[in-house]
Amino acid sequence: MSSSNRTGSSPLTVILTGIPSLPMSSYWMALPLCCLYLLMLPGNCTLLWMIKTDHSLHTSMYYFLSMLAMADLGLSLSTLPNMLAIFWFESTSLHFEACIVQMYFIHSFSAIKSGVLVAMVFDRFVAICYSLRYASVLTSSLIMKAGVGGVIFMRGICVVLPIAILIKKIPFCRSRVLSHSFCLHQDMLRLVCGDVRVNSLYRLTAVILTKGLDSLTILLSYMMIIRAILNIVSQEARAKAFSTYISHLCAVLIFYIPLIGLSIIHRFGKHLPPLTHTLLADACFLVLPVLNPLVYSWKTKQILRRILILLCRRGTQQRV
């Protein structure tokens, strides 16, 4: 199928794949996906609402946490609707342009989330290593300019845009069946019959400039944070300093480990069963946005206290 087919009477479509060895119309799979929605939407929206309404949470760490929640919402809303359509209604076909738009949002929000994690580790680095200068370095205005104002979000938006433009200009002549329930760039490149060297090279460059540099920055920052913590004489103070960034460490691990695993499998794991590719991709883009609100709510005392206050108020109102 060449690129000329896109301009014909029949628009180019791609075929999305559910989970291998599972019937396309499966209520047993649709039900867990609905549960993920019911956990993800209230979890992240509640986190955003609490940070906005509670003035004690108007600090740099919680501004970054609100950005992380927005990135998780964007990732989930980019992928879950397609999966629900597949398992509820057996709707597997997707217009090529819609597939490109979905691919763009998935990779953009993924890059944004990576940038937010870097900003959060920088916040913890300053708080632990330069605690006396923390308030002057990370002011609210600086956070707004660095985060919401543009740098983190604009990087994610702009670095992925050429990927979408490049893939729209190349011909597709192989099977139109994708190996996932949503559109990923590396998966779409398998359908191309033309030269993909430019696309692959730019994708590699984009990954290095985003997740590559981000993961290196996070690793170096953690090394400096751990060294600073180990230099603390008091064991109680050392435990307190460690607890201030353990939730961020969990968020980093549950984001980067599946993502790196998915990239390795796409590159070197062609011999593995299709189910392995599918489950790892679903873990990256479906399960992780649900975990972050749970991790931060459980490990962050301010958020946990706020949740308990809300629950107590609701219980009192019901008794009245």
Per-residue pLDDT of the chain (320 residues; tens, 9 = 90+): 444 444 444 567 888 887 765 555 556 667 777 777 777 888 888 888 888 887 777 777 888 888 888 998 998 888 888 888 887 777 888 888 899 999 999 999 999 988 888 888 888 888 888 877 777 777 666 666 665 557 888 888 899 999 989 888 888 776 688 878 888 888 888 888 777 888 889 988 888 888 889 989 988 988 888 888 888 777 777 777 777 677 777 778 878 877 777 777 766 666 777 677 777 777 777 777 777 777 776 666 666 666 666 656 655 655 55
- For position 161, what pLDDT does the model report? 92
Q: Give the pTM.
A: 0.83
**Helices (DSSP H) in 189-245: which residue ranges?**
197-207, 213-230, 235-243
Sign of the torsion angle spanned by Cα atoms 157, 193, 263, 259: positive
Q: CA 239, 242, 243: angle at the middle one, nearest 5?
A: 85
Does 3.40.50.261 match the CATH number of domain 11-319? no
Taking the domains of the chain in order of start, what are their residue ranges?
Answer: 11-319
- For position 14, what pLDDT does the model report? 86
- For position 131, what pLDDT does the model report? 77
Q: State the DSSP code for 177.
A: B
Cβ within 8 Å of residue 130, ≥6 positions away: 137
- Which own/partner contact pairs does 101-105 have at CB distance under 8 Å and 24+ positions apart? 101/164, 102/78, 102/182, 102/183, 103/163, 103/164, 103/167, 103/183, 103/184, 103/185, 103/188, 104/160, 104/161, 104/163, 104/164, 105/74, 105/78
- For position 7, what pLDDT does the model report? 43
SS3 category, 98: helix
- For position 5, what pLDDT does the model report? 46
- For position 16, what pLDDT does the model report? 85
- For position 142, what pLDDT does the model report? 63
Cβ within 8 Å of residue 173, ≥6 positions away: 1, 2, 192, 193
